[in-house]
Amino acid sequence: MITNPTRQRTLRGHKATWPTPRAANNADHQAMLARRLTLRDRWIIRMLHEHHVLTSHQITALAFPSFRSGRMRLRELFQWGVVDRFQPFITVGTAPMHYVLAPAGAAVLAAEDGLDVKELGYRHDRAFGIAHSLRLAHTVGVAEWFTALVDRARHSHAEERSTLGAWWSEARCARHFGDLIKPDAYGRWASAGGEIEFFLEYDFGTEALAKLAGKLAGYAALAEATWITTPLLVWLPTSRREATARRLLARAWRELDDPCSVPVATAAAELLNPEAAHPSPADEVWLSLDTTSGNAVSARRELHRLLEAWPHVVPPHLSTDSQSALRPDSTPARMAVAPAPMPPAPISSESSTGRR
């Protein structure tokens, strides 16, 4: 849950599971997959390649009407060798199943984009290596952050018309901007007529806050190089840590040559209401860095209304073609196309065959 993310220290290893018969990844099997895989299955494949790992709860919240239907379909995809899975060991309770891309799924994705599997950058051992990575909890936490936005959009009222228009992974951001910045993600959110694109720095309480503040220089350099002003969102676990981070960020922000080129807003996970139906980062928890402490409470804004704090920032839908460096559909050569964050709508054939 986004208000209580799993910490890295609780993930001591991955729990072995009972072996399940799986199909061999050969030409006949690929022919079978061409007939069996739905648009949603192919979207899941692309999402796993983009974000490396997603839990069963996240995939269900992203694309399925119920946990049972999601679990049954993921089991089929696992048996077909499309996805792999592991279950981290935790000291209390049971961790959800974590899913990564398997060789058959990588072959499908590479064929769709006209690439070889090697050109796709996929290796089975590397894909499964996330199970033992010290950044597993952070990667899952970022995915949970965006999953909460998608879940909010899927359950939003018609008058809100909420949607997550873009969700780039850290790896994709590094390919685009790695010489200047390396954010945890890039996103675009729209709701109730408001729209914002942003970079995300997801703090888990383990990184030195001085290092976080030092990243502002890179974002300023990117804004100067591209002439594009993109807000930076900093997500922290507690209000106390947010207050400390804001002091350090404000000091570094004022030292920039052009502070207005790097709009910064912060929020804390504990500000969300865990009893709300769909708590998410879209809630009224964001505070602009240039807000004084005297009116901090009243100045908290919803995500789609943050641009009201920065009138000089051009909304994404008003951006010109020259501002194409951050367009969600721009893709470096020899890289898989970024998936749409929102899952495809089911078609009648999927419903008639029971693939819900």
For 8-133, CATH gives 1.10.10.10
The pTM assigned to this predicted structure is: 0.87
Torsion over CA: 139, 145, 148, 149 (sign)? negative
How many angstroms separate the CA atoms of 347 and 39, rounded? 9
What pLDDT, on the 0 to 100 scale, is given for residue 164?
95
Torsion over CA: 50, 55, 60, 62 (sign)? negative
pLDDT averaged per 10 residues, the chain (length 356): 70 57 76 93 97 97 94 96 93 91 95 90 91 94 97 84 94 89 96 93 91 96 92 97 96 96 96 91 95 67 94 78 49 76 72 45
What pLDDT, on the 0 to 100 scale, is given for residue 211?
94
- Tell the residue number behind the tokens 């799986």, with chain if given: 22
* Tokens at 287, concatenated: 């505070």
What pLDDT, on the 0 to 100 scale, is given for residue 280?
95
Domain ranges of the chain: 8-133, 158-330
What pLDDT, on the 0 to 100 scale, is given for residue 30?
86
* Tokens at 192, concatenated: 């109730």
What pLDDT, on the 0 to 100 scale, is given for residue 323?
47
DSSP-derived 3-state class of residue 266: strand
